[in-house]
Amino acid sequence: METPKPAKEHEWLGQLVGDWTFEGDFWMGPDQPRVKTSGRWSIRSLGGLWVVADGVGEDPTGATNTSQMTIGYEPERGRFVGSFIASMMTKFWLYDGQLDGDRLVLEAEGPAFSGQGTALYRDVFAIEGREGFRLTSEVQGEDGGWTEFLTADYRRAA
């Protein structure tokens, strides 16, 4: 089997490779206040075809949380795929997505904030030049509209 050559979509993912610091805020429900978060991500490439992000951040109590995200592109399907796990949850998130202009939009199904049933979520990566990107997480409501619940700005670590 011949090793595949990276496509332009894989090259897009290459923009994320590096060491990053982030600051952002989020809420854990519509009736909850927004809280600040900060941390760092180290993103590496696997053969130019996948990126793996190892994250460390603080939650509102000051506890350290760790996470890992993988993202790749399947040319056969014409779709981005990935996964996300974190030390503060038991959910294994599976992503499916595509580029929307210069933004990568990844969707996954997960537990609804209400605790009843599931909801559709999306993480949006928006590149902001060579030195940064913004990650926005949204949840789809019963009315089909999207509500942002996390925003984080990533900057290359010095």
User: How confident is the model over 45-88, as pLDDT tens digits?
Assistant: 999 999 999 999 987 788 899 999 999 999 999 999 999 999 99
Give the alpha-carbon dihedral of 115, 119, 122, 123, to 10 degrees: 20
Give the confidence band of 97 by pLDDT, cuts at 50, 70, 90: very high
**Secondary structure class of 118 (helix, strand, coil):** strand
- Domains present along the chain, CATH in parentheses: 8-156 (2.40.128.20)
Does the structure show a pLDDT above 80 at 145?
yes
Does the structure show a pLDDT above 80 at 30?
no
Taking the alpha carbons of 62, 87, 135, 147 in that order, is the dihedral positive or negative?
negative
